[in-house]
A and B are shown apart, each in its own frame.
Chain A
Amino acid sequence: MSETLTATTVIDPIDRDVALESATPIVIVGHVDHGKSTLIGRLLYDTDNLEEGKVAQIIESSKKRGLTIEWSFLLDSLQIERDQGVTVDSTRIPFRLGNRQFVIVDAPGHRQFLRNMITGAADADAAVLVVDANEGAQEQTRRHAMLLRLIGIRHIIVLLNKVDLLNFDEQKVRAVEQSVTSLLAQLDLTPSLFIPASARDGDNIASRSERSPWYKGPILTEALAEVPDGNIRATLPFRLPVQDVYRFDDKRYVVGRIERGVVRVGDELSIGSQNGTARVASIERWSAPVRDEAAAGESVALVLEPDVIPARGDFLYSPHQAPEKSARIRANLFWLRQEPLRAGETFRLRLATAEHQVTVASIDSVLRLDDLTEQQADEVGPEGFAEITLVAGEAIQFDPFSPGTSDGRGVLVDRNQRIVGGAPLLGPATVAAGSHAIHPSGGEVSTGERARGKGHKACVIWLTGLSGAGKSTIARLAERKLYSDGIDAYVLDGDTLRMGLCSDLGFTEADRHENVRRAAEVAKILAQTGQVVLVALISPLRADRALARKIIGEEFEEVFIDTSLATCEERDSKGLYRAAREGKIENFTGISAPYEAPEKPDLHIAADKGDAGQNATKLTDYILSKVR
């Protein structure tokens, strides 16, 4: 049967105007097994927000499993995932409390939790943080609290669940309350309220518990009914990020959604990218009453006088209340990509309708979840939180993010157009004394466009193996085959690099490391032009290849040309092994310097087993499967 998430309850006709009010989104978060699902089930049941027959079903399935009533079965039965035993995404459950509409956002499960939770919760007005009173705050309690802080949810109700396990003992409950309070204080969060409750038994959810006579505060439903409308946007200085400009019937319309403030016909507005101002000649609407003003939240079409043409992403604002403008911006960050973030990576920063090329100039601190302290670190791990500095080639206009607003927060998008992080902006960054302010400017043409133009994707094929293993030979043969196949392939050969770019380098470990770094940087640039780059470089150390992978990013493919030392030495096409054996060459890989074979190369070619042509075919096939 289809599951309808609509929890429709009977509404008196008198309530019709009330029902027209918008729904308040409430996100429910908390550590696994602290009772989120049970709470939601209980809440829906106690407030008569369940479809008929649902309760009987739950009692039935609970009985089957020898349980009294397992409320979480209700939510599980709402999830299409239940059959497959996987939880894939957040769900929104409409729910009504007296005269007020809510939407409960539930992001169950652990897999890519942050990604799913942020998708549902980013616009919530308030949160219920469920904490098992018996266990206290746990890792996910801290993680979720941090996310609430970053997305600007300031109204937090802490539900201390399972207080029946503490026998509703006031002193014990107060002690947990104290420890959660100090934890949240570390994140600069002040909970609006602590409610001692048992979601399973319904204590202090929708009815006041007799088991906690000492608790005089609001129960959960009362607390929800008092969640304030956090919308202060209309009272702030006017901001309209231009979404588009239309020209219909000889009339030009500047369209977009007002993020802050109010605009009236006759107002003078500054235009982000242009000097000078324009006047609002009219606010155009179709099939709607004429009004001479519009406020935050409205999607409008303005006619300006004179008829200037702003660009998408331009800010329209009141001339005396300009936003910040800086090419260096400090930002908070929550990181969604599986691979860690490192300084030096370049992204598109999407900020309202604007898009800017930015580079992560520095990772200023990373939050350690264990104790919520800010640490120095080189990278931000998956689902990590950090403070970073972004630099752009041009000055960016922005407003720092603050709770209750909907702008001043950007997303970072990678070259494949994937959203990899959320970045509420903190403010302009100053350049630290002694450091060079670098403002890299990236290309206007995206990877996707280049790939479309070339008819294939770019990548860097990193061939590692002993000297004489056949790396260059295989690479050259593959280059020829690929090129004949319409693939723009190019070989970066270790020896060739050492003739020019790396001619200042020797063979010490430090110089080899630098050699790898330069090769990787060059390969990265070539890949950015859309080419398939084959790098033939001994690159004996795992750490060096890891560095190359880090520099190049996800286009990096490690290929192990696995030829035995015996074969290489027997071939000795360049006479190097003999010289090394005779002690004429120091630090020779395989003889007097280590070769660390890749543990899990993306492709392993057992080169002894085939001739160069067969090995090249293997490589070519692999590359074609990656770039086509």
Chain B
Amino acid sequence: MDHLDQLEAQSVFILREAYRKLKPLAMLWSLGKDSNVMLWLARKAFLGRVPFPVMHVDTEKKFPEMYKFRDEYTEKWNLDLLLGYCPPVEEMDPTLPPAARSAARKTAGLAAMIEKHKLQGVIAGIRRDEQGTRAKERVFSPRGASHKWDIRNQPPEFWDQYATPHEDGVHIRVHPLLAWREIDIWRYIEREGIPIVDLYFSKNGKRYRSLGDQDITSPIDSEASTLAEIITELETTRTSERAGRAMDHESEDAFERLRVAGYL
């Protein structure tokens, strides 16, 4: 087994644990490259099916290409799509910096969906290498009634034995991609032929390395217009993947505050 085989086998194991232990369960689909890989892994785990709903928490500020992609693959992959919308930015914590405040809408939208569908498990495509606070995450990360992430009191997690919810109001965030690195994602997309939104590919010297809301996401300078070129570019870059995501950089603790409050 090579590195990608090992990552795939582990993610499949995690998804099958989640499907077995958490009911009701849903997978977040942000339409980005990571969540497409995650959907693909679910189809690996369940022999071509996705046996739980896929949730898009819509900020209504995504790129048009992303909405088109969503509608196309919902049908092609026979997905049970749950749509949720986010409250207006005016309702968010005014002490947050502007972009983080905008991103907080998604936390609120997600919380509402978890409540509405009484979810016990939410599968999300975060990775350890994206961001310092995500590096601290568990594969099964319990969230209390307020959805808060209790970073100081995370359960032990070893030997593939994961936390299970022990009381009402607790849900589990499941992170099957935690051990993947950005470059693994791209190599896997290349190996498996996984479709992605073409905003990732360079046009006129610019491409998106990470996709979020239109107003708080910027493209990077890049000539990489094929998967092979993107992989080569990543092998030589020293800047961080989320450099184009404004809410990460407004203040030192902005992202941590978002995550503790329940952001992905």
Contacts and interface: CB of A to CB of B under 8 A. Distances in A.
Contact of B159 (A8, A90, A246, A409): A409
B72 to A, nearest CB: 18
Tell me the dominant secondary structure on chain B's binding face. helix
A88 B156 contact: no
B256 interface: yes
Given A123-B158, A448-B166, 13 more contacts: A8-B235, A8-B237, A10-B236, A13-B235, A51-B238, A78-B132, A243-B13, A244-B20, A248-B46, A255-B45, A287-B40, A287-B192, A448-B167
Given A119-B156, A287-B43, A248 B49 contact: yes
Given A417-B164, A451-B167, A244 B132 contact: no
B252 to A, nearest CB: 7
B213 interface: no
Given A20-B2, A83-B253, A257-B9, A243 B17 contact: yes
A422 B158 contact: yes
B13 to A, nearest CB: 5
Interface string A383-426: 00000000000000000000000100101010011110010000
19 contacts: A2-B248, A4-B130, A5-B128, A5-B132, A6-B240, A8-B235, A21-B3, A23-B3, A88-B136, A88-B151, A92-B135, A119-B138, A122-B159, A123-B158, A244-B19, A297-B1, A298-B5, A417-B166, A422-B159
B16 A244 contact: yes
B221 interface: no
A583 to B, nearest CB: 54
A89 B12 CA distance: 26
Interface residues of B, number: 68
Interface in B7-53: 8-10, 12-13, 16-17, 19-20, 40, 43-49
Contacts of B131: 2-4
B155 interface: yes
A192 to B, nearest CB: 23
Contacts of B167: 416, 448, 451-452
**Which 9 A/B pairs are nearest by Cβ-Cβ distance?**
A122-B158, A4-B240, A417-B166, A3-B132, A299-B12, A22-B3, A2-B248, A286-B48, A299-B9
Interface of B: 1-6, 8-10, 12-13, 16-17, 19-20, 40, 43-49, 128-133, 135-136, 138, 151-152, 154-161, 163-168, 181-183, 187, 192, 232, 234-238, 240-242, 248-249, 252-253, 255-256
Interface in A1-52: 1-6, 8, 10-11, 13, 16, 19-23, 51-52
A163 interface: no
Contact of B9 (A51, A297, A413): A297
Contacts of A52: 238
Nearest to B9: A299
Contacts of A3: 131-132
Contact of A5 (B129, B157, B192): B129
Given A4-B132, A419-B161, A118 B156 contact: yes
A256 to B, nearest CB: 8
A328 interface: no
Contact of B152 (A6, A21, A86, A352): A86
A114 B13 CA distance: 26
A4 B46 contact: no
Interface in A255-275: 255-257
Nearest to B236: A10
Interface residues of A, number: 71
A480 interface: no
A350 interface: yes
A118 B159 CA distance: 9
A517 interface: no
Nearest to B128: A92
Contacts of A448: 165-167
Interface of A: 1-6, 8, 10-11, 13, 16, 19-23, 51-52, 78-80, 83, 86, 88-92, 94, 101, 115-116, 118-119, 122-123, 243-244, 246, 248, 253, 255-257, 284-288, 295, 297-299, 301, 312, 336, 350, 352, 406, 409, 411, 413, 416-419, 422, 447-448, 451-452
A313 to B, nearest CB: 11
Contacts of B46: 246, 248
B47 A89 contact: no
Nearest to A409: B159
Contact of A406 (B48, B130, B159, B238): B159
Given A286-B48, A416-B166, A298 B135 contact: no
Contact of B252 (A1, A285, A416): A1
Contacts of B183: 19
Contacts of B47: 246, 248, 253, 284, 286, 301
Contacts of B158: 118-119, 122-123, 411, 422
Contact of A80 (B20, B49, B133, B248): B133
Given A1-B252, A52-B238, A448-B167, A298 B128 contact: no
Contacts of A118: 156, 158
